[in-house]
Structure formats: structure tokens, C-alpha cells
Structure 1
Amino acid sequence: MLELYKNIKKFRVQNDMSQAELAKLTGYTDRSSIAKIEKGLVDLSLSKIEAFADALGVDPGDLMGDEWESSVVDNARLDLAEHFNYDAFNIAKFQDAEHLDGISAHTMVCENRSEYTTKPLNCIPIYGTIPAGIPITAIQDIEGYEEIDPSMLRGGKQYFGLKVKGNSMYPMFMEGDTIIVRQQPDCESGQVCAVRVNGDDATLKKVIKQGATTVLQPLNPEYEPIFFVGSVGEPSLEIMGVVVEIRRKL
């Protein structure tokens, strides 16, 4: 890792940048932190190395040299392990190193029926239906994949996509639209959510909370609202997530 710290200093000097300026750009409070880093006294995470690369106007590989590729592979394995709830050892057995070489740190393995292919970590499955009682990760009716902004995944947030069927949410949502849903078991009043009603397949509705009553409000006036007495989470009403984006093909 000594090459990394030498290169940080080299590119800082080439950019005529002070240690104090670099500290400000990379989230440190003062120049002393940069001085310690340039002496190799502080270990840097991959995200911090990327922050230094951005501040210095270079690629992370320019800072780390030959060590960059192995770091990328190791971090890809950690991302895979977290996604599948496996430990890194099992991921190494599951997907051997030659398949991980060259994959970015935001890479995962997506399951598509019986085949495994490499896809970006920010690649989410789009479902045609979400049957009652089946976990999202076990559903086989995958119609495709969509990429989302990687920043949306911060904090461990998880997403799935769902094809809109019917016209109860017209005109905001039209049949065939793809909606991006952030998985969560509850919502704020007024948010549009993917919900399960009385154990049926997932549907799209605006959720309105009125004291002890929850209303599932269609946006199309031709459809009647559905009323539930009791809190969200009752067996008759399950919120699967909040809609954060609509994607429509013209």
C-alpha cells in the first residue's frame, strides 16, 4: 500500500494543492490528517481512495497501481456476500476469482432462473407480478432488469421494479409503465405504494392514513377507494414499498 500514499503526495504536488486543500476536498478536518496519510500511517478504505482520486483528478487505479485490481475483486466479493447474506468465503466458492476479475466494486451476481450472470449492484429485477406469500428474492417471474442511481443504495436500501397493470392509477401511472419501488414495511400518508390486499398479488395505490383507518385511493375516479380499519401491517393489508420513480417507454 506504500505506493498509494506516495502517489497521493505526488499528484497533490503536481496539482499545486496544499495538504489543507486536499483535506477539505476529502472530508478531513485539517492538514495533519493528510500528512499522516502521505506517510502511510493511516489505512484508507476503498471509498476514501475513490474520494482522493476524485479530488486529485485521477483514476483510483492511478493511485494504487498494481494493487487496484485485487482491491476491486475483494470488494466485489464483499458486496456479493452482503447481497446474498453469505460470508466472503462462501462467495469465493460460489463465484471463483476468474469471474470476478475486472468487475467493479459495485458488482453483484443476479440470479436469472437457473443461470447466473454478472450485473451491476445497482441493477434491480423487474417483476411482472408479485404473488402473495412469496419473498421478493424467490420470485421467478422476472421480466427484465433496470439500473438505478448507485447513490440510492446508500444506507442498505433495497429496491425492486414492478410492471403496472390496469388503469386504476391513471393518468399518473399507465399500463406497461415500470415503477421503481423502495422496499419498506410502512409509509407516510399520501405516498404511492406497492401493496398486497387480502393476500392478493401486489397492486399499486395511494395510501392515505386517517387515524385508525387506512385508505387505498386509486387516482382514476372511475375506481372506488378501499378502506381498512386498523394499522398498516394487518394481515389484510401489507405495504411492500414506496414508489420512487416511474419509467415509461414511448
Structure 2
Amino acid sequence: MIHDFATAPRTPRELPTRREPPTVPVVKKSRKLRGGLLFLVVVLAVWRISTSAPVEVAEDLAPIVEAKAEYLQAATTEEVLLRGPESEMKQTPADTAPKPDPKLREFERKAMASKQGGVENDYGFYDSLQASAWRVPVQRGVYLTAEDRKRASYTYILQAASLKSRSEAVALVAKLQQRGLAASYSESEGGFGEVSWYRVNVGPFNNVSIMNKAEDVLVSMHMMPLKRRVQ
């Protein structure tokens, strides 16, 4: 076979290359998807926190919170004590400052005037009280009610004892007369077949107070006198 080198090229002819189809950027789409999911999660978390109940302090953290509050309160109190009353007075507004009492100011003014002028206090009012005479109504005599007047019109005797023996009655009368009492005895006759009794009496009395004194004497002699009204 005869080759024609004059017409045929000496270099080999390049074959056409096959171009591959362009690939879709998958990385960019996946990044967008992840960003959207992350944003959605953040929105859901914020909504959940805003709508949830207030957070309660755990029981184990409660003592820590209380201790912190006590520490802050103690620090504030200590700061106030260290500042003293002067700083509190400086912070007090002028409107809320206590106003002086006009009566107290008048008293202070008079005291200063008396000290400066050497004027002694005037006690004329007390001197006039001592010099003045006071009449006090005094009840004279004894006040008697209607019942007292009615009792005063009666006559009473005191029965000291009632004895069966006449000799005992006579002896008791003598004993009472020695004590200064107006004593006597009377015989009470009984019915048929009954024994007579001898009553030892003290009185009669028209004054109730004298009768009460005689009764006290009989009681001191271990007797139980019986009060009897005669009229």
C-alpha cells in the first residue's frame, strides 16, 4: 500500500471529547435546609419559654436564695447603722421635717426671758389658794331613816336564858348585874302538869345602840340572847 504523505497530515487528528452534564450544587440546598430547620427550632423554643409557667426555684436551691436575701438585708442594715442618724436627717426632705410646737416655743421664750431679766416665777395663784377659805358641808348628828325612827319607838328586852331552877335564875341575875346590866327574871307558868320556867331578861331598852352593847356583853359570856319586842 502506498501512502501519500503529501496529502495526509503527519500529526494525529484529535478526537472530540465528551462533555459531562453540569452537576446541581447539592451543598447549597442542604445548607439552606439546615438553616431553615434551625430557625424553626429557635422559634419553637422561644414560644415554649414565653408560654410556659414561671420557673419555680428548686427545693435544694431555696436555702441558697434565702441566705442571699438575708445577707443583702444584713448588709443594708449595717450600712444604715454605719451612716448614722446624720445621713438620715440629711436625706429627709424639708417638707417632711417635724414642725416645732408653738406652745413649746412660747415656753422656751418665757424661760429665756426669765433667765435674762432675772424675773422669778409668779406663784400668786397657789398663794391665793392657801389664803382662801373653803367651806365644806359637814353633816351633824345621825341620819335616821323612816325605818330607824320606827324602830326607835319600840321597846326591846334581851332574854339571856331560860332556867328550870329559881336559884339558878337568881344567881345569873346577880352575875349580870355585876357586869352593869339591868337584869331580872320572870316566871312563866305552864299548864296542868307542866314545869314552870324562869326567864332571865336584860332591859328594857328604848335605844337600839345601848341594846346592841348589852347583847355584845352577853355574847362575851358565851350566851345566845334572844331579842324580843315588848311594845
Q: If each structure's helix is expressed as a fraction of its own residues, which one has the higher value? A: 2
TM-score using structure 1 length: 0.16
Q: If each structure's strand is expressed as a fraction of its own residues, which one has the higher value? A: 1
TM-score using structure 2 length: 0.17
> Which entry has the higher C-alpha Rg, 1 or 2?
2
